[in-house]
Structure formats: C-alpha cells, structure tokens
C-alpha cells in the first residue's frame, strides 16, 4: 500500500489472506484495514466490515468512537445506513465531529412493560448527510422503581440498512462480534444522460459496457453505455407511438433513474428492438400484493406479521419518495396491484408512469384527474390538486385491504358496502371493526396492534387531506407499533381516548364482535423520542 498522498490512493485495494488462507480485499483508511464486503461503482458506495462503535456487555467494551473519515474521500452513507442501538431503558446520544454537536439520539423502550420483561430490544435513529465521524454515548435513564440501576447491556453502531433488514439484527447474538457491515460513500450520484468525452481522460471496460471520464480531480462521469444509448433513443419515438404512452414510458425512465431504495423496483434499462418499447426491471418473482391478499392459499398464509412488515416497507418507500429523494416525488397511483413481492416477499413499489417530481417549495400538482377508482383521494378528485397527502390516502386504502382482505371496490356487494373505505370507516364508527377483518388477522394478530393500525388507516383516509399524517409519520408509527406490540401509543389526545374506548369494549362486552381477553395497561410514549 502506497502512502495516501494523492486523491487516487484512497481507492487502493489490498488483497490480504484470512486465517483460512483465502484472499480478500481490504481498504486502508487512516491506518485501519477494512474488509470490503460489497461494491457499487455507480452508486459510489462500498460496504466494509466496520468496527462496532459502542459495546458494553460483560468483559467486552468499545469506547463509542467511530472510525475517523475526516480528510479522506469517504463519508458514512445516510441513505444506505441506519444507526441502531440494542438494549432497553437507555438514552442513546450520537455526537458529530465535535463533542458539543449533538446530531441525533433515541430513548430505548423501558425494560419492563406491565411489570413483565420487555421484548423490545432497542431503537434506531437517522443520520445526517456527509457524516465523517461520530461519538456514541449510552446512559441509564433514572427509573423511579430502581433509580440506581446500572446501564443495561447495550450495543450501538452504524449498520448497512440492507444488512439490518435481512438479518433481523435484534435476534442475533452480537456479544462475540467486533465488526458490522457498514456502507461508506465517496460521492453523490447525479442521474442524467451520459455524453462521454473522447480523449485520454475517458476509459472503458474491455467489453465497452461501462465507461467513465474524469471531469476534474474530484468529479467522475460514469455510465453504462448500453442503457445510456437506450435513454437517448427514447426521445425519437413519439413519431412511432401515440403521445400518452411515450410520455409515460419516458417519465418512468426519468423518475426511476433518480430513485435508489430497497423497496422500490429497480429499472435496469429499456428495450427498443421490440415492436412496442419495453422497460427492463429487476426480476420480481412473487407477483403482486393484490394477488397475495385476494388469492390466498394454505401453502402461504398471509400472517399478521407479514402484513405489518409489508405495510412498513411500502410506507418507507413512500416516505423516501416524498422526503428523502433529491426532489420530492408523488407516485400518484399507489394500489396493491402496483406493489410487487420479491423472493422473500418484500414489497417493491412499481409503476411510475404517472409519477411526478415536484420542486421543494411546491405543495401540489394541478393536473387532469387520473388514477385508480377505489384508491383515489376524493379531495384530489374534487379539486384536481394532487398533494403528498393524496398518496397517503391511497396508502390508507392498501392498509385497509391488508386488514380486511377485501377489495377496494366490489360489484358483488350491496350498495352500502360496495366501497371498502366507506364500509371500513362505518365499522370503525360503529365499533364493529372485528366484524370486517380478515379471519387470518383475527386469528393471528394482537388486538392492540390491530386496533392501532386500524386507527392509523382511519387517519390516512381522512376526508380533509391536511388532517392526514405525512408518510414520514406513518412509517415511524408503523415501526413503533411493530417494535412495541401495540403497547406504545403516541400521545394524541382524542385518538388515545378512542383506543381506550375500543379496548374497553373488548373487555366489558362479551357478546361484542371484538370480544377477546387482552391486557389494557398502555404506556404513553412520545413518538419523536423513539427514533
């Protein structure tokens, strides 16, 4: 390894032998060798085995100081990592490059709920963009019952979000781990049509598929030549097809080239050799959420756990589109048939033909009304103004489908129950929710979780869009419901009283359609202290 005295040296890869004799690649960053686990040139990220930042269990201990990336070409990816801490009853604080700069934190759930040991094992926080070092502190919260309690066994570190998603980290014994997969980024990709310059500063792979040009000492122009050629050809097709289809075709290419999220389908390219132009996506083998809900089979029961996880994945994707993407994106056609399911039945939002990017200061799009009947925001239908809350309404319909197993519009039903939204809201009003739930939900789900999710769906379906939650709030509340088992309820006044009323009905009316024995003790927990 050469001394890192110029910009290229940060990217030198060392091949070292492991204890079993295999050669594996490493990066050396400020004297620390980091094993390379994965690499994505076009996203500008590398996954490395990163030292655990904070660990306080038995004899093992890590002091809370992260790897120092200051002065290097790398920083911690804010879009591909999460900051996760495990433990209970601890206050986790994350400081930035300076010790007096608090950048985030979270309060782990109490170690006991209803005088029983808690099954919740931690909390997560989001991280700012461009973070190059940080310090973690974990302290015990004073408990009125045992105020001298020492800090519980705790772990905290930056973790690749893909790894956290697939490994269910909270179920893994990390007592013997010293490293955890983490994503480092060296630049921010900007999507667009590539036009490489000829000359010595342009290089290509041997097959000519990938090329790159140096624009400056810190800017690299990179593209896949095959996909790039397809994108430039798209503009010459209006001549061949009618206008609306071409607009949607080009629009989907443009929108998806801006998106990078694990719960949004990936566009690989487009095929123009066929009679009708085709978009080429990643292979998604398990059909749509619509088929999974409405054509259930005994071989793959759609459990409550699956329903809640899928709802969280869709919500996270929409939160990303609305609030995290470089420019806010309104999907405009959220429905269960546009949610694809991969090999592990993880949700992938698809079909961006009618989606639109909006300027940061814009609050709505005024457009000709289009969408799918049964999922369409009635406020948008009335005003022709599509807002981010219109996507929230459509998500509320999907959430109601997951709860009830029924279709948004059913021509077989009588007039009064033909619209699922109307039927659902009426059942909530009449306190007969459990009459319309999918039998699998009733059999498999926790009453408290079901009630809180149903109330969230009700808020998403509010006739007044301003009174609906944002997708950020929806995603965070669903994560909190999953983590707490429905015991942790955000303090929101009237709605909490409504939850208490529904639970009271479960207890006191044995003949009620919702009658099953449950524990009624609940804990009020401010939402913003859990993430």
User: Which residues are tagged catalytic?
Assistant: 333
Tell how strand 365-366 and strand 356-357 pair up: unpaired
From CA 512, how far away is CA 117, in angstroms rounded?
31
Residues 50, 180: Cα–Cα separation, whole Å = 5
* DSSP annotation string for 170-218: GGS--TT--EEEEEEES---------PPPSTTEEE-TTSSEEEEE-SSS
Backbone angles phi, psi at 184, to 5 degrees: -105, 140
Question: Phi and psi dihedrals of 47, rounded to 5?
Answer: -90, 125
Nearest partner of 36 among 23, 49, 21, judged by Cα: 49
- The size of the chain, in residues, is 531
Other CB atoms within 10 Å distance of the CB of residue 492: 16
DSSP H or E segment with residue 119: none
Is residue 14 within 8 A of residue 29, CB to CB? The reply is no
Instruction: Identify the three-state secondary structure at position 11.
Output: helix
DSSP 233-276: HHTT-TTTS-HHHHHHHHHHHHHHTT---TTBPPEEEEE-SSSS
Task: List all residues 6 or more positions away from 362 whose beta carbon is below 8 Å from its beta carbon.
Answer: 328
Strand 102-107 and strand 90-95: the pairing is: antiparallel
């Amino acid at each position: 390894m050469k001394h890192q005295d110029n910009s290229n040296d940060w990217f030198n890869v060392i091949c070292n032998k492991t204890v079993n004799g295999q050669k594996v690649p490493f990066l050396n960053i400020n004297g620390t060798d980091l094993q390379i686990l994965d690499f994505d040139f076009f996203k500008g990220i590398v996954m490395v085995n990163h030292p655990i930042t904070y660990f306080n269990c038995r004899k093992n201990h890590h002091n809370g100081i992260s790897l120092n990336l200051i002065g290097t070409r790398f920083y911690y990816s804010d879009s591909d990592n999460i900051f996760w801490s495990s433990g209970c009853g601890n206050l986790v604080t994350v400081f930035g490059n300076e010790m007096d700069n608090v950048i985030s934190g979270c309060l782990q759930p109490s170690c006991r709920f209803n005088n029983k040991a808690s099954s919740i094992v931690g909390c997560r926080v989001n991280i700012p963009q461009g973070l190059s070092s940080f310090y973690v502190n974990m302290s015990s919260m004073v408990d009125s019952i045992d105020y001298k309690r020492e800090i519980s066994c705790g772990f905290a570190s930056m973790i690749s979000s893909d790894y956290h998603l697939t490994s269910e980290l909270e179920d893994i014994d990390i007592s013997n781990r010293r490293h955890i997969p983490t994503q480092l980024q060296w630049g921010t990709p900007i999507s667009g049509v590539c036009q490489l310059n000829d000359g010595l500063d342009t290089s290509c792979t041997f097959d000519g598929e990938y090329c790159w040009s140096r624009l400056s000492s810190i800017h690299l122009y990179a593209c896949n030549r095959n996909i790039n050629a397809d994108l430039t050809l798209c503009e010459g097709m209006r001549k061949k097809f009618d206008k609306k289809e071409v607009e949607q075709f080009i629009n989907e290419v443009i929108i998806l080239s801006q998106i990078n999220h694990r719960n949004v389908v990936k566009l690989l390219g487009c095929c123009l050799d066929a009679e009708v132009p085709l978009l080429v996506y990643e292979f998604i083998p398990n059909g749509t959420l619509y088929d999974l809900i409405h054509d259930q089979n005994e071989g793959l029961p759609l459990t409550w756990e699956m329903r809640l996880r899928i709802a969280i994945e869709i919500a996270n994707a929409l939160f990303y589109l609305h609030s995290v993407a470089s420019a806010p994106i309104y999907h405009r056609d959220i429905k269960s048939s546009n949610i694809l399911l991969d090999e592990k039945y993880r949700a992938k939002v698809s079909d961006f033909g009618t989606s639109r990017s909006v300027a940061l200061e814009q609050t709505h799009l005024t457009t000709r009304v289009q969408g799918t009947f049964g999922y369409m925001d009635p406020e948008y239908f009335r005003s022709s103004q599509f807002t981010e809350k219109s996507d929230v309404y459509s998500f509320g319909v999907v959430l109601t489908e997951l709860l009830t197993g029924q279709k948004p519009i059913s021509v077989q039903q009588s007039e009064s129950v033909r619209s699922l939204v109307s039927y659902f809201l009426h059942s909530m009003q009449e306190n007969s929710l459990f009459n319309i739930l999918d039998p699998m939900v009733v059999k498999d789900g926790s009453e408290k979780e079901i009630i809180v999710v149903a109330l969230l769906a009700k808020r998403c379906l509010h006739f007044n869009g301003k009174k609906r939650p944002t997708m950020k709030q929806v995603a965070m509340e669903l994560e909190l419901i999953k983590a707490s088992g429905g015991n942790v309820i955000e303090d929101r006044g009237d709605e909490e009283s409504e939850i208490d009323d529904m639970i009271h009905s479960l207890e006191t009316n044995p003949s009620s359609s919702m009658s099953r024995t449950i524990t009624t003790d609940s804990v009020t927990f401010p939402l913003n202290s859990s993430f």
